[in-house]
Structure 1
Amino acid sequence: MKDYFTPGRLVSSTAGRDYGKFYLILDRVNETRVRVVNGADRKVSGPKLKNIKHLKVYPLVAGDIAHKVSTGQRVTDLDVRRALKELLETYGQAATAQGKPSDGKLELKLNGSGKEVG
């Protein structure tokens, strides 16, 4: 099974008070929960715990964040904000290049267990 919920992955919330907000995954807590940050209202010092069922997963990963987490280096809120801004700009350009509105057409289709579907 390919794990899409890896550190640095771009996600957005599909449920809760934070509906529609974009985050980066900081780490995976267990099979159903991850910690997400955006560097502004959800800082690295206080990440939000989210159920993976309530996240829309995008095929973009912040490589520098993933590298820092995997090597045990300190990730700062500034790192997260910069990476999130770059990914959102990339996502917007990719969506418009395909002639599609940037409303989530690039997300990965996952079933409840985290496996990719058609």
Structure 2
Amino acid sequence: MDKFPQVGQIVKVLRGKDEDSYAVVISIIDERFVMIVDGDKRRFDSPKKKNVLHLELQPVISSEVVNSLLESGRVTNTKLRYVIQKFAHAKGE
């Protein structure tokens, strides 16, 4: 897996008040920062700017999120919650 995050990739937050939760990368600002959302506390309309050093990249890129962003430029919060829930469930958490 690339050490650089990609749009649609699921990440685990290692620092901050959302520590130990999962989120999805929805945009990349530069090589140090990305915007993440979880569809719950962090909704699509108010993404969190995160330093990539504070994220643990998961080996999963959600095609549903990527396709949705390509088609409409946005992702519903329901879809984000579903994708994260499905991922956490598959990991057995």
The TM-score range, normalised by the shorter chain, is: 0.7 to 0.9
Whole-Å Cα distance in 1 between the matches of residues 15 and 39 of structure 2? 20
Does the CA-based 8 Å contact 1:62-1:87 persist in structure 2?
Answer: no
Provide structure 1 residue ranges, at least 5 long, that are not aligned to the other structure.
Answer: 93-101, 103-118
How large is the RMSD of aligned CA atoms in angstroms?
1.6
SS in 2 for 1:36: strand
For residues 20-78 of structure 1, the C-alpha deviation after alignment (integer angstroms, 9 at most, x for no partner) is 11101111111110000000100000000000000011101211001122344431101
What is the TM-score with the length of structure 1 in the denominator?
0.70
Does the CA-based 8 Å contact 1:62-1:84 persist in structure 2?
Answer: no
More strand by share: 2
1:96 alignment counterpart: none
The structure with the largest alpha-carbon Rg is 1
- Structure with the bigger RCO (C-alpha within 8 Å, sep 6+) is 2
SS in 1 for 2:75: coil
User: What count of residue pairs does the alignment treat as equivalent?
Assistant: 92
Q: Which runs of 4+ in 1 moved over 6 A?
A: none
1:64 alignment counterpart: 64
* Structure 1 segment 49-88 matched on structure 2, within 5 A: 49-88=49-88
